[in-house]
């Protein structure tokens, strides 16, 4: 049991990314990892699908803003319902606030009603650094061709106030909808807002 959990929590970013950042219009940094339920995940195997990467930290008030009232779960549900692969990533280092074990995170996600396809523990921070993930939340949308479509904030209302969710433009939903309609993504990059990733 313990060894399986360790396998789940081991995240290895694959070689081959020259940049230390995911940039809209460029190839998304490749990674291989194992989700908290033990399934292997490799970005290369997800070609042909839209992929959303969501950086998270359960203790962060900006994350709570979106999970408390069920906003993040609703977006996950809507997009995974359209065939989008949604991976939630936690890059908190061991000993840092928000670091979780696979078992604990699975329980939290169930309680929250997370509709993510998978949860990735990146305690070495390799995937986070490869993408330039800075905040929780920080979101990336990758197109079926493996190129980054969007990098940045969840929406246009930087705050910790859940009341701001209602009137906000959700950049992730917007990017996926525009790309699926064959249009260029109108807002491909924004400054993310949130707590710093606890590398």
Partner 1 sequence: MFKVPPGLALVLAASAAIPREARPAEAPIRASLVAAVTRFRPGEPFDGAIRLEAARGWHTYWTNPGEAGLATTVRWTLPEGFTAGPLRWPAPKRFVTGGIVSFGHDGATLLPVEIRPPADWPAGRAATLRARVDWLGCREECVPGGADVEIVLSAAEAAVASDEADAVARAVASVPRPDPRVRFHARAVEGGIAVRLEGAVAEAPAAFFPLAGGVLRAAPEPAWTRVGVGVHETVLALEAGVPAPSRMAGVLTFAGAETRRPAFLDFAVDGRTVPQDNPKGVRP
Q: Which residue in 63, 51, 52 sits closest to 92, CA to CA?
A: 63
Residue 28 contacts by C-beta under 8 Å, 6 or more apart in sequence? 22, 43, 51, 131, 140, 142, 146, 147, 148
Interface with partner 1 by CB under 8 A: which range of 38-46, 74-82, 93-101, 174-182? 93-101
23 sits near partner 1 (criterion: CB under 8 A):
yes
60 sits near partner 1 (criterion: CB under 8 A):
yes
69 sits near partner 1 (criterion: CB under 8 A):
no
Nearest to partner 1 of 77, 96 (CB atom): 96
CB contact burial 176-193 (16+ within 10 A = b; e otherwise): bebbeeeeebeebbbebb
- Binding-site member from 85, 134, 141, 179 for partner 1 (CB under 8 A): 134
Nearest to partner 1 of 61, 70 (CB atom): 61
Nearest to partner 1 of 41, 105 (CB atom): 105
156 sits near partner 1 (criterion: CB under 8 A):
no
Strand partners, 88: 54, 119
Residue 146 contacts by C-beta under 8 Å, 6 or more apart in sequence? 27, 28, 43, 44, 47
Task: Order the strands of the 148-152 sheet from edge to edge.
Answer: 118-121, 85-90, 51-55, 138-142, 148-152
93 sits near partner 1 (criterion: CB under 8 A):
yes
Interface with partner 1 by CB under 8 A: which range of 19-27, 29-37, 111-119, 164-172? 19-27
- The site for partner 1 (CB under 8 A) is made up of 19, 21, 23-26, 59-62, 93, 96-97, 132, 134-135, 151-152, 158-160, 188-191, 193-199
């Amino acid at each position: 049991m313990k060894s399986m959990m360790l396998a789940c929590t081991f995240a290895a970013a694959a070689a081959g990314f020259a940049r230390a950042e995911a940039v809209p219009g460029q190839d998304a940094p490749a990674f291989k990892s194992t989700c908290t339920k033990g399934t292997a995940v490799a970005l290369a195997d997800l070609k042909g699908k839209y992929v959303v990467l969501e950086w998270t930290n359960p203790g962060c008030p900006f994350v709570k803003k979106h999970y408390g009232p069920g906003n993040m779960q609703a977006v996950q549900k809507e997009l995974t319902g359209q065939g989008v692969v949604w991976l939630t990533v936690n890059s908190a280092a061991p000993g840092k606030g928000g670091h979780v074990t696979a078992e604990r995170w699975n329980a939290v996600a169930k309680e929250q009603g997370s509709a993510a396809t998978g949860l990735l523990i990146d305690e070495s921070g390799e995937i986070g650094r490869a993408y330039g993930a800075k905040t929780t939340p920080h979101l990336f949308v990758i197109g079926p061709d493996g190129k980054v479509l969007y990098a940045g904030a969840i929406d246009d209302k930087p705050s910790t106030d859940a009341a701001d969710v209602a009137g906000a433009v959700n950049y992730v939903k917007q990017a996926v909808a525009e790309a699926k309609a064959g249009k260029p993504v109108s807002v491909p990059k924004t400054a993310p807002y949130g707590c710093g990733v606890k590398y």
